[in-house]
Amino acid sequence: MSQSSKPNSVSYANAMTPLDYGLYSTSVLIWGLSWIAMHFQVGVVAPEVSIVWRYLIATPMMFAFALVRGESLRYRLIDHAYFAGLGLTVFSMNYLLFYYAAMHVPSGLLSIEFTLAAIFNVALGAIFFRTRIQSRVVIGGLFGVAGVAAMFYPEVQELRLEGGAVLGFILGLLGTLSFCAGNMVSLAAQRRKLPVVPTLAWAMAYGTTLIAVVAFVKGASFIIDWRPSYLISLGYISLLGSFAGFAIYFTLLGRIGPARAGYSTVLYPVVALAASTVLEGYRWTPLAAFGLVSVMVGVFLVLRPRPA
């Protein structure tokens, strides 16, 4: 398979197309609702096992999708190194670290930590791909993180960073860094002209295998919770959150770059709170409303094209 070289310095400052906005909106909606679906996955089944079930459904679908698109599934060993790297960072360590972090700190803090991907992606893109750091993108990311922090302030204000909470905070940061590292692996794979769908199929296969090994070593029981709430949420996060969500996100990543794509993580909690307003009666406080305005300011700064 022939490879093509890319310039050392890359800019993603061009205006987004209608397709980009469509992919962006769909990604935010799917993954924003995934945060709610994941609540129904906690309880009877061990977290690692739930992740295995999730990708045992999504992975064959991704392989089948690649074949339907007429894409090859045969790649060189060096290409599989990229697939395994993506599987390690995004489809295994990212999930495991956040699940373990959730044992020690509230989900609101984890949501805030995950929004830091908007900042980490900018920094890692500059380090590994020499993408230009635009001040308005960094400022927009900070507006977004501050906005999400304001929306979840009531949940986090009583947190005391001591003992297990410190561990949970560190694990959440590492989980976010793992996700962002996976973004860089995906970009590197796309620059090698490796197509997105087969890359995701193999990456999911590697990640699922690793998590299954972890679950086996921990002695977790490979059981299924047959309650409708678990099965419906499993179907959602498998078909939409994993199969469709990752295909859309990593396609978007290659089109608009890590800085803009990373800001979508700021919008996931907004969608989750909006859904909670309808489904669970969440009441917006003035501080939460201010946080939403701050997030929207960040959206404007990050997504608008650089002035000529």
What pLDDT, in 10s, does the model give residues 248-306?
999 999 999 998 999 999 998 888 888 888 876 778 889 999 999 999 999 998 887 76
Residue indicated by tokens 């339907």: 68
The Cα–Cα gap between 142 and 294 comes to: 9
Dig out the tokens for 287 from the structure: 């501080």
Is the pLDDT at 242 greater than 70? The verdict is yes
Q: Which residues contact 280 (CB under 8 A, 6 or more apart)?
A: none
The Cα–Cα gap between 213 and 206 comes to: 11
What pLDDT, in 10s, does the model give residues 99-136?
888 878 777 778 888 999 999 999 999 999 988 888 88
Q: What's the confidence (pLDDT) of residue 164? A: 75
The Cα–Cα gap between 175 and 91 comes to: 11
Tell me the mean pLDDT in the region 192-203.
97
Tell me the mean pLDDT in the region 136-143.
92
Residue type, 270: V
Q: Which of 108, 19, 135 is nearest to 287 (CA)?
A: 108
Locate the domains of the chain by residue range.
Answer: 18-303
Lowest mean pLDDT among 27-41, 235-249, 253-267: 27-41
The Cα–Cα gap between 79 and 200 comes to: 12
Residue indicated by tokens 């993408």: 131
Q: Which residues contact 67 (CB under 8 A, 6 or more apart)?
A: 73
Q: Which residues contact 133 (CB under 8 A, 6 or more apart)?
A: 122, 123, 126
3-state DSSP percent of the chain in helix, strand and coil, to 5 = 75, 0, 25
Interior angle at CA 115, CA 20 and CA 133, nearest 5: 65
CA 8 from centre of chain: 26
What sign has the CA pseudo-torsion 125, 127, 132, 138? positive
Residue type, 168: G
